Amino acid sequence: MNLISDYNKFNIVFIHGLGGSITTGTKFNFFKGIYSQIKGFGWTQEDNIPEKLAAFIPENIDLAKPTLIIGSSAGGKISLLLKQMLLEQSNQQVLVCLLNPLADVSMRLVEVPLTNSYLLTGDLHKTAKDALIIWSAEDEVINQTESIKMFHPHNWFVQVQDNHQLKNSLSTVVKRMDEYVYQNQNVTQPDFVN
């Protein structure tokens, strides 16, 4: 059961990681079973991410409502861009939950072929102030130590005993997101860290 009984007042967006899917992905389908209004942002390495997000916003996000963005792995970086774009268009609150986020390509433990220029550049991880960041203790893809150093210190950090996919911890992820949203709803959104 969710701590937040009225998620209908939120836009909820899920952004998958590299090679993920919003049609067959385990995480998106799990979240869809809980948050019926969730929208999935699908992307590939060939996409112009900023342009695709700009087209996604008017079709999927009510700018009069606060938004919860859930970003997984490389989708975490895209989540931070979506947050920035929403704050430029609306004065509504934007909360972000990052699941094993890839903030910078230097954090990879394995060689993942990233070719999308947006994912290879930028330092949007500095905008993650007050985000919920969930790390897997047994993550075989992202170097947690380096990743934690890169994120602004004013974030909510939660570690779970799972691997990069988080398939065994999704119920825990939802509980932590509920607590995060409950603690942060109707809080004035802080300015970006420059």
Instruction: Reply yes or no on whether the pLDDT at 189 is more than 60.
Output: no
Lowest mean per-residue pLDDT among 4-8, 55-59, 98-102, 176-180:
4-8
Q: Would you tell me how many other CB atoms lie within 10 Å of the CB of residue 53? A: 23
pLDDT band at 129 (very low <50, low <70, confident <90, very high): confident
Higher pLDDT, 72 or 102: 72
| CATH code of the domain covering residue 144 | 3.40.50.1820
Task: Using the predicted structure, report yes or no on whether residue 118 has a pLDDT greater than 60.
Answer: no
Domain span at residue 127? 7-184
pTM for this entry: 0.84
Q: Identify the residue whose tokens are 């067959």.
A: 24
Residue 155, in any domain of the structure? yes
Q: Flag whether 20 is in a domain.
A: yes
Highest mean pLDDT: which range of 28-32, 138-142, 187-191: 28-32
Rounded Cα distance, 29 and 157, in Å: 24
16, part of any domain: yes
- Reading the block at residue 96, the tokens are 């972000």
| Domain presence at residue 192 | no
* Residue 42: pLDDT over 80: yes
Q: Please report whether residue 115 resides in a domain.
A: yes
How many domains, in total, are found in the chain? 1
Residue 189 lies in a domain: no
Residue 113 lies in a domain: yes
Q: Is residue 64 part of a domain?
A: yes
Question: How many other C-beta atoms lie within 10 A of the C-beta of residue 56?
Answer: 19
Interior angle at CA 177, CA 76 and CA 109, nearest 5:
35
Helix spans in the chain (H): 26-34, 49-60, 74-89, 117-120, 144-150, 170-184
